[in-house]
Amino acid sequence: MPKIKFETDYQEGCHPRILERLVSTNMEQTSGYGYDPHTEHARELIRATIGRPNAGVYFMAGGTQTNATVIKHFLKPYEGVISVSSGHINVHESGAIESTGHKVIALPGINGLLDAGELRQYLAAFYDDPTYEHMAIPGMVYVSYSSELGTLYTKQGLSDIKSVCSEYGLKLFIDGARLGAGLTSETSDMTIKDIAGLCDAFYIGGTKTGALLGEAVVFPEPERQDLRHFTTLIKQQGGLLAKGRLLGIQFEALFEDGLYFENARHANSQAMKIRQAFIEAGVEFLIDSPTNQQFPILTREQNEALSEKFSYETWQPMDDGRTAVRFCTSWATSDENISALIEAIHQL
């Protein structure tokens, strides 16, 4: 019998309402490359959702591609991008940012989050250094909401980072691969409009919130960007789908009646049940995550017991022999599977 998977938030296909939309539109004839009515409609829906009727909205096929393209757009050749050490671009993109010619400048951060104070200190020291002309110039800041460790910036924390960016002339880009999980977390004090107001660009992750694939890049203030040739840049980076509507149709479905947030809320809600079960079982966590990724620390026995029926990611070995693991939920996580897992946790 196959194990029940809690490995990732992309282990099923797409939400049935998205699939239905793909089926019902399948034989329509449309122009390629995103010049179709569905994609245009999806753009309008996103603009309305964030309250920015002029926002630049572009669809791409995956997170790494999106990060590399947006960062390449913002940076001059001699500039680097600041990220917390655990940031996706610094660890898990196979050097994609460097392959576009730019250094990722890694700062330690706290619990996967960049700290405004640390950022300011770094920048002050940078420009105080008489040799700074010989270093990659910091040109932008990259943060993730929610972070790679499931944690969240407070509105104040992100505003502080934005202030430092403004002070030093840096662009701020928010990786929203798990934006839904972040915004619908009970602990979040931000809305998607807040996100739009606090950055130069962000993306709305579709892949991990119910789409087959697709990320929507948003430039809230396009008049401050030179976006005339952004589609050409997407093309150059290999991110322009011939059947661009595949992305448009999915985002149409996600933003027409709130499915995006519904999916994310479901994922969080299921994750909180897992969290509660581990707490009740006296299991500690690597990090206190209020979103759809949970990082309990298991003893060898616990790990063996759970892994009999469930699969999940090994995150990192702890010094005391225990292992931090990751349980991930999504729009597709069923109550049935959650119940089975909780039961198993209670038997640990």
- Interactions with its own copies, residue window 65-84 (CB under 8 A): 65-66, 68-69, 72-73, 76-80
Please report how close the Cβ of residue 161 comes to its own copies at its closest, in angstroms: 22
Residue 201, strand partner residues:
173
- 3 state DSSP class of 316: strand
CA 81 to chain centroid, in Å, comes to 17
Please report how close the Cβ of residue 269 comes to its own copies at its closest, in angstroms: 19
7 binds its own copies (CB under 8 A): yes
Residues 6+ apart with CB under 8 A from 121: none
Cα separation, 15 vs 13, whole angstroms: 7
Cα separation, 18 vs 231, whole angstroms: 25
**Span interacting with its own copies, options 127-135, 155-163, 196-204, 302-310, rule CB under 8 A:** 127-135
Please report how close the Cβ of residue 153 comes to its own copies at its closest, in angstroms: 23
DSSP for 130-155? TTGGGSPEEEEEEEESS-TTS----H
What are the structure tokens assigned to 163, written together? Answer: 């202030």
Cα separation, 185 vs 318, whole angstroms: 28
Q: Closer to its own copies at the Cβ: 7 or 118?
A: 7
191 binds its own copies (CB under 8 A): no
Looking at residues 48 to 67 of the shown chain, list those that interact with its own copies (rule: CB under 8 A). 61-66
What are the structure tokens assigned to 277, written together? Answer: 């079960």
- Site size with its own copies, rule: CB under 8 A: 81
Q: Closer to its own copies at the Cβ: 84 or 104?
A: 104
User: Which position among 121, 156, 166, 236 is part of the footprint of its own copies (CB under 8 A)?
Assistant: 236
Q: How buried is residue 206: exposed, middle or buried, by Cβ count under 10 Å (0-12/13-18/19+)?
A: buried
Please report how close the Cβ of residue 201 comes to its own copies at its closest, in angstroms: 15
Compose the 250-289 pattern: x for residues touching its own copies by CB under 8 A, - for all others.
----------------------------------------
Looking at residues 319 to 338 of the shown chain, list those that interact with its own copies (rule: CB under 8 A). 332
Which is it for the CA torsion 230, 88, 98, 195, positive or negative? positive
Cα separation, 101 vs 69, whole angstroms: 12
Q: Closer to its own copies at the Cβ: 23 or 301?
A: 23
Q: Closer to its own copies at the Cβ: 276 or 316?
A: 316
Q: Closer to its own copies at the Cβ: 241 or 345?
A: 241
Looking at residues 200 to 219 of the shown chain, list those that interact with its own copies (rule: CB under 8 A). 207-208, 212-213
Residue 313, strand partner residues:
326
108 binds its own copies (CB under 8 A): no
CA 156 to chain centroid, in Å, comes to 20
118 binds its own copies (CB under 8 A): no
Compose the 292-321 pattern: x for residues touching its own copies by CB under 8 A, - for all others.
---------------------xx-------
Go through the chain and tell me how many residues it has. 348
239 binds its own copies (CB under 8 A): yes
Contact 244, 36 (CB under 8 A): yes
Please report how close the Cβ of residue 159 comes to its own copies at its closest, in angstroms: 27
User: Which position among 149, 192, 199, 241 is part of the footprint of its own copies (CB under 8 A)?
Assistant: 241
Instruction: State the amino acid at position 200 in one-letter form.
Output: D
94 binds its own copies (CB under 8 A): yes
Please report how close the Cβ of residue 329 comes to its own copies at its closest, in angstroms: 12
How large is the C-alpha radius of gyration of the chain? Answer: 21
248 binds its own copies (CB under 8 A): no
Which is it for the CA torsion 88, 90, 96, 97, positive or negative? positive
Please report how close the Cβ of residue 251 comes to its own copies at its closest, in angstroms: 15
Contact 330, 12 (CB under 8 A): yes
